[in-house]
Amino acid sequence: MDTRRLIEALTGDGGDPGHRVSPARKLRLFSALSLRLAELAAELATEISSPTEAALFAHDVERTHRQAEIAQIRAAHTAQRTLVQDLPAENLEWARATAADPAAFIRGERALPPDPATVPTGIMPFKDTCDFLQHSLHLPRFAARNRLHAANALLPHADVHGNQCAPRYPKLAEQLHAGTACLGATAAAARNLDALAPAIAAQPAPHRLAERIEKRV
């Protein structure tokens, strides 16, 4: 079975559109593929002797790196949306330990612990999502803050009524997902546009002006 068919078999609907693959099963696949990707990159780095293969390898690694950056802000957005900072310490420790040694989880021998049935009370391990990203993932605070800002500016999101909304800066988001711009520069542009927002709002036809400025950026 080739890779495409393997992934489809593990994450598809099995020919039954009503069959939904659980996030836990997809997480097992994600963990397995991420480990295999690292192993495969190490093998290729020593086995490739063709300069053509080396060129393709370099391009593939660069694309993978950009996709991983987008995955990072998706993960930050998911952590924010699910209120990960409200998890009890034992769930947070399970996630940390499983990420560090995922073999048993990948084999299905280590089950996900249940989420808390009610909103926890008392002093929680983290005060907000940024605090979780900073201390649980060992990120500098500005990096954690920037990931959340990039996620909120460049990813689709739900409004207060639960309706799906486009990214705040759709043209920047389009370039990012197309791979024609890197995350760092795109996120910086989004922060600059946010800083300009009050001045733009004070101008005639602010929506059209904002679109023109975003396009220029």
Read off the pLDDT of residues 58-78 as tens digits, 9 standing for 90 and up: 999 999 999 999 999 999 999
Q: What's the pLDDT band for 200 if we cut at 50, 70, 90?
A: confident
Is residue 210 within 8 A of residue 169, CB to CB? The reply is no
The amino acid at residue 40 is L
CB atoms within 10 A of CB 190: 24
pLDDT beyond 70 at 115: yes
Q: How far is the C-alpha of 77 from the C-alpha of 101, rounded, in Å?
A: 24
Q: Which residue has the higher pLDDT, 19 or 87?
A: 87
> What is the model's pLDDT at position 212?
81
pLDDT tens readout for residues 136-156? 999 999 999 999 999 999 999
**Assigned token pair, 120:** 């926890």
How large a percentage of the chain has pLDDT more than 70? 91
Helix (H, G, I), strand (E, B) or coil at 164: strand
> What is the model's pLDDT at position 17?
58
**Assigned token pair, 19:** 């069959």
- What DSSP character marks residue 1? -
**Assigned token pair, 54:** 């080396």
pLDDT beyond 80 at 3: no
Whole-model pTM: value is 0.84
Q: How far is the C-alpha of 166 from the C-alpha of 163, rounded, in Å?
A: 10
> What is the model's pLDDT at position 207?
80
> What is the model's pLDDT at position 1?
44
The amino acid at residue 23 is P
Q: What are phi and psi of 93, to 5 degrees?
A: -65, -40
Helix (H, G, I), strand (E, B) or coil at 124: coil
